[in-house]
Amino acid sequence: MTVAIEKNPPVMLPNEPIITPQIVAEHGLAPDEYERLLKIMGRTPTMVELGIFSAMWSEHCSYKSSKVWLKKLPTSAPWVIQGPGENAGVIDIGDGQAAIFKMESHNHPSYIEPYQGAATGVGGILRDVFTMGARPVANLNALRFGDPSHPKTRHLVSGVVAGIGGYGNCMGIPTVGGETNFHAAYNGNILVNAMTVGIAATDKIFYAAAAGLGNPMVYVGSKTGRDGIHGATMSSTEFNEDSESKRPTVQVGDPFVEKLLLEACLELMATDAIVAIQDMGAAGLTSSSFEMAAKGGLGLEMALDQVPMRETGMNPYELMLSESQERMLIVLKPGREDEARKIFEKWELDFAVIGHLTDTERMVLSWHGEIVGNIPIPPLVTEAPMYERPWKLTPLPDVLDASQVPAPTDWNASLLALMSCPDLASKAWIWHQYDHLIMGNTAIRPQDGDAAVVRVPGGSKGLAMTSDCTPRYVQAHPETGGRQAVAEAWRNITATGARPLAVTDNMNFGNPTKPEIMGQFAGAIMGMAEACKALDFPVVSGNVSLYNETEGRPILPTPTIGAVGVIDDVAMAVGSRLRQAGLGIVLIGETKGWLGQSLYLREACGREEGAPPPVDLAAERRNGDFVRAQIAGRHVAACHDLSDGGLLVALAEMCIAGGTGATVALPKGTDVPSHAFLYGEDQARYLIATGSPDQMLQAARAAGVPAVLLGYSGGDLLVVEGLVALALAGIKSVHEAWLPAYMNTTD
């Protein structure tokens, strides 16, 4: 590597500390990483330069532990317009329209300050999507909390839900789906994964790569304050008992300003004044400016004193590292500044030209006329540390036979207990706090179907969206768990009748320097890659959150899969509500009675053991394609995939959601024990309510798809002959009671 001779070495600011090994360590840089920095710089850095390297080389921004593995995921398909590497992924959904989406974590901030942490998580992911030219049309979120009995859990649920609602509701974007789990492994480290889906015209997509020598670099949005300094570095270390003292590193959100920023950006995007645009997310002005310049192969000179500031006495270090929210960086075409300024002034937002593009490939930062930072851009990006950390795969646990799991002594009680356990209980208390109806396009609402379905504005197409992961499967065997998470997301999209198109992944794991954690990551990626390939379900965007540990205890490995599919006529989408008597209840897919790692095993027997259910990707594809074709042929009144809790839980959910009972029996001649048949979590299965069961069975036989008629809908009881007989009202009341009762309890 050659280092260009520096024409403008920076000056030291008054009161600027001398860089010591301690200061380097406080910035999260390992000694060898600092050596690497010195080689690139050819001299000791100034404080602002050190801060920039620290942020850019943090795990959060550099993906230094995960990059080698992420490359193994399939990212292309004919309908993929933009895969990973931009602010969000872009897929073609036909009619000149694109869906732009991504999921991102805000785990550490949400644990420290749940309301603001979750709110700014939503704000950040919304910006990632609208910075590419899309109007956001839906939000989803995947939440994992600690054990309900943990003293902090209630407070965290309350704050996170209020924060997500507070931000999304004010923005006017419907929050239409998601998932919420509880497990003691998240006691000290909750997960808040937020996903946004937007719609843009395929010929009006905006990217981050800067272009055009001399073009102005413009700062718009909120003023910069001192909040969130070192957020990216904070998110790249483990928690300990002092973590609460890191509250000042959590950003503070203002959804009102973001709403103005959204409208102003879309208004400017409707002109042709923009060359490139990038939101200021993690590591704020630092990462946005470096990414834009690096992607464009250009240099950048910025006058930091021109940055709009919220407080007096701020210095270059704080300005470069602040994670103040609701800010964007834009490269404009020359001479278009006034036109752009007028739009931002109309929306009462700050607008400042803070720099211009150069051909030096250096980032030159000035402060009242003096150079305070001068960094060569390419080596900071290309020479960034990248680790092939040691990894140790989790061995496949022994398979648990159904005979090793006791059947319930009281079937009715066992179903009621499952339906009211924290993971399966209704989450209505949560999603009623989210405006899920605004925009008037929500066709399938939360809890009414396996995926949310919203109409794409300006036509009759619908987008189906879901987020899925079963962390206990991933913990038991990461490869199977990774495969299952992708397969379940694909299945949930399919169950509405939509064609699954692409995935965004949010990889939440523990400390990657531990070989067994890195092994979980590696295993999950292998499983995901295999499933994505087999199902033509490429990964187009994603986010990695590591160091999710507290006092050395890691979370369950949680590769959350967000997925999007499309249905040509939104009115053809089906939900899971059983609303009509006399329909045949058909089980699609093969039931072997897999109880290892099942919810029944955990909730009824208090055991978390065994191998998770295997995922046969060929069967997934065959069964899913069959179900989708049946929906397209209008043979399906309701459809629900079988997942947590298995067949009986799925049927109970369909009944209480639609207010119609059902009477079913186990198929004659099955050698699967009843409890394994009804509570087993075999994959690639669906329950379908149909007015023409015989025809469906015939079609299934022809397609080589296992299918069996279990019984019919009707009445106000759920009956499994000889085993279960429960009034729907009773199931519904325990199902709906748990979460509100829990949240209304005071410690």
Partner 1 sequence: MKAAILVFPGSNREGDVAQAIELVTGRKPEMVWHGDGDFAKTDLIVVPGGFSYGDYLRCGAMAAQSPVMAEVKRRAAQGVPVLGICNGFQIVTEAGLLPGTLIRNSHLKFVCADVHLKVETSQSLFTNRYQAGQVIKVPVAHAEGNYFADDDTLKRLEDRGQVAFRYCAPDGTVDGSGNPNGSIRNIAGVFNETKTVMGLMPHPENAIESVFGGTDGKALFEGLVESLS
Select 315 or 433, whichever has its Cβ closest to partner 1. Answer: 433
| Cβ-based nearer residue to partner 1, 278 or 324 | 324
Of 7 and 432, nearer to partner 1 (C-beta) is 432
Q: Residue 131 corresponds to which tokens in the numbers above?
A: 């910075």
CB of 362 or CB of 735, closer to partner 1: 735
Q: Are 163 and 117 in contact (CB under 8 A)?
A: yes
Nearer to partner 1 by Cβ, of 209 and 438: the residue is: 438
Closest approach, Cβ 574 to partner 1, in A, equals: 12
Q: How far is the CB of 437 from partner 1 (least distance, A)?
A: 5
Q: Are 525 and 573 in contact (CB under 8 A)?
A: no
> Is 368 considered catalytic here?
no
Give 524 or 570: the residue with its C-beta nearer to partner 1: 570
Task: Give, in order, the Cα–Cα distances in Å from 466 to each of 17, 106, 430, 575, 625.
Answer: 49, 19, 16, 13, 18
Footprint of partner 1 on 172-191 (CB under 8 A):
172
Instruction: Confirm whether 735 is a catalytic residue.
Output: no
List alpha helices for 85-174, DSSP H: 107-112, 114-130, 153-171
Listed in sequence order, the residues at least 6 apart from 149 whose beta carbon sits closer than 8 Å to its beta carbon are: none
**Residue among 233, 278, 177, 235 at smallest CA distance from 26:** 233
Query: With CB under 8 A, what is the number of residues at the site for partner 1?
Result: 31
Q: Which of 670, 661, 523, 515 is nearest to 592 (CA)?
A: 670
Return the number of the residue (421 or 464) whose C-beta is nearest partner 1. Answer: 464
Other CB atoms within a 10 A radius of the CB of residue 298 amount to 22
DSSP annotation string for 542-593: EEEE---EETTEEPPPEEEEEEEEEES-GGG---S----TT-EEEEES----
**329 — phi, psi (to 5°)?**
-120, 130
- Indicate the residue type of 477: H
The interface mask with partner 1, positions 326-365, x = CB under 8 A, is ---------------------xx-----------------
Residue at 251: amino acid letter: Q
- Contacting partner 1 (CB under 8 A), which of 30, 201, 396, 437? 437
| Residue 435 binds to partner 1 (criterion: CB under 8 A) | yes
* Site for partner 1 contains 37 (CB under 8 A): no
Q: How many CA atoms lie within 13 A of 666 on its CB side?
A: 17
Q: Which one of the listed residues 60, 108, 230, 735 is annotated catalytic?
A: 60
List the one residue from 170, 555, 639, 652 that touches partner 1 (CB under 8 A): 170
**Residue range at the interface with partner 1 (CB under 8 A); choices 33-41, 265-273, 440-448, 628-636:** 440-448
CB 662 within 8 A of CB 578: yes
Spell out the alpha helix ranges (H) of 420-469.
428-431
Question: Which positions from 208 through 237 interact with partner 1, judged by CB under 8 A?
Answer: none
**Shortest reach from residue 468's CB to partner 1, in Å:** 23
Element (H, E) at 321: helix 316-321
Residues 241-300 binding partner 1 (CB under 8 A) are 254-257, 259-260
Give least dist CB 256 to partner 1, A.
3
Q: What gap in Å lies between CA 28 and CA 232, rounded to an integer? A: 10
Least distance between partner 1 and beta carbon 267 (Å)? 12
Query: Is 171 a binder of partner 1 (CB under 8 A)?
Result: yes
Exposed/middle/buried for residue 412 (C-beta within 10 Å: 0-12, 13-18, 19+): middle
Cβ atoms of 110 and 437 within 8 Å: the answer is no
Stretch touching partner 1 by CB under 8 A, among 137-145, 163-171, 202-210, 627-635: 163-171
Three-state secondary-structure class, residue 107: helix
One residue of 443, 531, 563, 599 binding partner 1 per CB under 8 A: 443
Q: Give 348 or 410: the residue with its C-beta nearer to partner 1.
A: 348
Minimum CB distance to partner 1 smaller for 228 or for 255:
255
Q: Which stretch binds partner 1 (CB under 8 A): 58-66, 439-447, 508-516, 662-670?
A: 439-447
Find the binder of partner 1 among 43, 247, 342, 432 (CB under 8 A). 432
**Residue 469 or 574 with smaller CB distance to partner 1:** 574
Closest CB 255 distance from partner 1, rounded Å: 7
> Which residue from 60, 336, 455, 483 is in contact with partner 1, where contact means CB under 8 A?
455
Of the candidates 65, 101, 54, which has an alpha carbon nearest to the alpha carbon of residue 80? 101
Q: 666-695 burial string, b = 16+ CB within 10 Å, else e?
A: beeeeebbbbbbbbbbbbbbbbbbbebbee
Q: Are 74 and 539 in contact (CB under 8 A)?
A: yes
Take residue 686 and report the two structure tokens written for it.
């669906």
Catalytic residue among 106, 436, 477, 640, which? 106
In the region spanning residues 628 to 667, those forming contacts with partner 1, defined by CB under 8 A, are none
Tell me which stretch binds partner 1 (CB under 8 A): 39-47, 76-84, 365-373, 433-441. 433-441
Residue of 404, 433, 511, 733 that binds partner 1 (CB under 8 A): 433
In the bound state with partner 1, the residue whose beta carbon lies nearer, of 231 and 255, is 255
Q: Which span (47-55, 360-368, 438-446, 646-654) binds partner 1, by CB under 8 A?
A: 438-446
Cβ-based burial of 385 (10 A; exposed 0-12, middle 13-18, buried ≥19): middle
Candidates 19-27, 437-445, 482-490, 597-605; binding stretch for partner 1 (CB under 8 A) = 437-445
Instruction: Give residue for tokens 């003023």.
Output: 223
Phi, psi of 66 (to 5 degrees): -105, -20
- Of 234, 372, 439, 469, the one binding partner 1 by CB under 8 A: 439
Q: In angstroms, what is the minimal distance from the CB of 464 to partner 1?
A: 14
Structure tokens at 449: 């179907």
Map the footprint of partner 1 across residues 568-587, applying CB under 8 A. 570-571
Q: Is 440 in the site for partner 1 (CB under 8 A)?
A: yes
Chain position carrying tokens 């924060």: 163
Part in contact with partner 1 (CB under 8 A); list of ranges 169-177, 182-190, 288-296, 560-568: 169-177
Applying CB under 8 A, the residues found at the interface with partner 1 are: 162, 165-166, 169-172, 254-257, 259-260, 347-348, 431-443, 455, 570-571
Active site residues: 60, 106
